[in-house]
Each structure stands twice: as C-alpha cells, then as structure tokens.
Chain A
Amino acid sequence: MSKKELIVSAIENGTVIDHIASDKLFQVIKILNLENCSNQILFGTNLNSSKFGTKAIIKIQNKYFERYEINKIAIVAPTATLIKIANYEVIEKFNLNLPHEIEGIVKCFNPKCITNHEQVMQKFTVLDANQIKLQCHYCQKITKEETLNFL
C-alpha cells in the first residue's frame, strides 16, 4: 500500500482555494493581493487532479475571504473550490459561482465608456455564468476574458 502524502501541507485554520486552473495561480495571487499579505501562505501548481488533469492550490493560514474577494476569485478561477478550515477540519466547502451582478472589481474594456473618464463605480451584469461575459451597466459593451482588467 502506498503512503499518501500531501504535497501542499495542511493548515490549522484558514482557507484553501482548490481546483484553480494551473495557469491561473499567479493571477489569483495577484488579484487577492496576496503578495502583500503577511499570513503564512502555501501554494502549488501543475499538481495532479483527477477532475481536471492538473490544478493549482493555495492555502492561507488564518484568513477567511469577504464576498467581494470571493467574487474576484470566481472571475479568474471559476472552477475553484473554496474550503474553510478550523482546527484542521473542513467547516465549509463550496464551488464558486459568478453572481448575477458585480460591482467595483473589473474595469470596462471600452475606452469610450464614461466609467473610464469619470469617478464611477463600475457595474456589470454577468451574461453567462460559465464564461466571462460581463455587460457594462453604462455603455452596454461586453467585457470578455481576453479584455479583462481588474481595478
């Protein structure tokens, strides 16, 4: 019998973001501003995944995310699973879903949109839960994954 071993060690308390697409790891780190986070962070990418072939994972000690941060993760890594850990036990586990509307996370790609010229809260309707298709509340143009920029 082979001994199973965790490649990325367990955390006592905090959050695990699992099933991130391998090539999205550093983007998730960036949008969550984890490079400026002083908590203990473990991460790995190009790990084997029975679901997706390969995956990335991030484990952050003593950190639970707010709704707006979870929405950010959902935009970059829609396949991710969020797991809350307390005393090494899973207390909550859920798949990410894009909300129907998002505010203040993404920039409208349209250079002629008023939101890129005035101080306005950027608002989008999520047209398709499975792909990034965000319709700007103001100019109606659709921001897609290729044109996505975070605020």
Chain B
Amino acid sequence: MKNKNLISITDFSKEEYLQVLSLAEEFEKNPVQKIAEGKVVASLFFEPSTRTRLSFESAANRLGAKIVGFADSASSSTSKGESLVDTIKTVCCYSDLIVMRHPLEGSARLASEVATVPVINAGDGANQHPTQCMLDLYSIKKTQGTLDNLHIALVGDLKYGRTVHSLVEAMCNFNTTFHLVSPVSLKLPSSVKMHIKERNLTYYQYTEIQDAIDKVDILYMTRVQRERFLDIQDYEKVKNSCILEKSLMDNVKKSMKILHPLPRVNEIHSNVDSTPQAYYFQQAQNGVYVRQALISLILGLK
C-alpha cells in the first residue's frame, strides 16, 4: 500500500481494508509508536472540520510525524486566488504525505494526479470520505467480532449522506443484509442500491425506525438536514420518524451498537447516550487508530 492514494473507498480492495483494520487493532493496543519520526504530514483543510482534522493530526503526532498545514482556506494562498493544483504542487515540496479536505467534489482526485506524494482524501464536498468509512468498518468489526453476515440498519438521510453511500458499497463485500430507514423523499439513490443488487444481497426499506431496530446488529444513524427540504412542512412531517430515543430500544439485540458519523443534532436523544448500545463516541476515537494505520501503511512504515 506504500505511496498509494486513498481518494475513494473503491481505491482499496477488500484485502486492503482488512489489512488496515488489523493494523488499526494493533495501534489500539499500542497507540504511541514513533515510527514516523522525521516525516512531515501536510494537513490541508480548505474547509473547517473538527473530528477529521483533529483525529488525523492526533494520529500523525502519535506516530512521531510533524504536521504542517492550515485549518481553513482563509489562512492559505487560496485566499489570494491560487489554484488548487498550484497549492498541491507547492506543498509536495514540503511534505511526505498530504491529507486534504476541500469543499469541491473531485478535488482530491485532481490533487492526487498532480501530487508527487500520496494523497488521503479527508472529504471532498458531498462526494467521498473514505477514512470515515474505514473507521465505521473498524467499529463494526470491533463491536460484532466480524464484518460477515450482519444485519445493518441505515437511518436518516440516505439520499445525500456520503458516509452512508460509502458504507453500503464497502459492506456489500461482506454478505450484509441492509435495513434502510428514511423518509420517502430521502431514500437511498438507485445508483447506490445498484451495488446491493449486483451482489444479490437482501435489503428492506422502512420509514419508521421501530420497524427495523429489533432486527439489526448495527444501527447507523445520520442527520436529516432541514436544508434538504424545499418545503418546511415536509421536513416537519418526517423529522421525527428518524429520531432515536431510549423508549424505542426495549427489545433490541443486546449486542446491537448504535453508530453515528457525528455531529448529531437531535436524531439521537441524549437519553440514549448512557445505554450499552451507544457507541458513537468510541467510534470517533477509533478514527485515530484507523488513521494511524493508514498513514503508516501509505508511508511504507508497516
């Protein structure tokens, strides 16, 4: 995997994801390994982010690498009108690896084509966010002991949620049964469902969370964003159908875990946080181990 770019979840094979996940497990046991001393990681966030940027930087620090970069484009030459291509070519002179987030779709692919160092996509607009997907896979494997033959419910905005799309694509490799819970207007697009159908996997569609919750091993929650609706009344009608609260959890599987890519707004009531099924904050922590694994594999240190 040395020098490989990670732009889209489909850039890595199933074997490669599994290799990342097993190395992440090793980092979880032993998080501080200064194997990247002397390496420089460029962290280019053309758009603000809390979790992704901090967990990448935390991962690089725990590996002993130094970080250069910026946390929003206002503090880079982009604000003077520099093109992305020029910024990337310049940053390559100063670093061994680029981690980038950018609001425009396809920006990371373009960066990887002009860069002389490997590029990890930390989110390009609504397009791809592959490291989120890898940490979701890691969290599923860690909590269920396996990725194979699971029942997964995906809840909320299945139409626009990029994490949902990548996760569906990745989980299609593991004989998953999908339970898709969303308002009718935010159903999983057919271009994503196509992957499920190609593998002859089973999926069910629901509009209410309670119809799926007792059947599944993983409940993957996402935000239903008000700005996706043209008519505010439509939003008011559906907003509560995808809200999880403790009273819905009386008959769930004991081993079921609730994931959420965060930030959440109101879709998971805070009374769920103390249940044994709540896993979303540990999930965010797993991001560091997965990113340590990715950085060290791409830099060729493991």
Give me the interface of A with B, judged by CB distance under 8 Å: 110, 112-115, 117-120, 136-142
Contact = CB atoms under 8 A, between A and B. Distances in A.
Contacts of A120: 85, 110
B84 A119 contact: no
Nearest to A136: B106
Contacts of A140: 8, 105-106, 127-128
Main secondary structure of the interface of A (DSSP, over half): loop
Contacts of A119: 83, 85
Interface in B86-138: 102-107, 109-110, 124-128
Given A139-B127, A142-B191, A114 B105 contact: yes
A95 to B, nearest CB: 29
B110 A118 contact: yes
From B8, B102, B107, B191, name the one whose CB has the most chain A CB atoms within 10 angstroms: B107
A139 B127 CA distance: 6
B106 A139 contact: yes
Nearest to A140: B127
Contact of B104 (A113, A137, A142): A113
B204 to A, nearest CB: 26
Contacts of B191: 142
Contacts of B125: 112, 139
Interface in B158-196: 191
A45 to B, nearest CB: 36
Contacts of B104: 112-114, 117, 139
A142 B190 CA distance: 13
B110 A112 contact: no
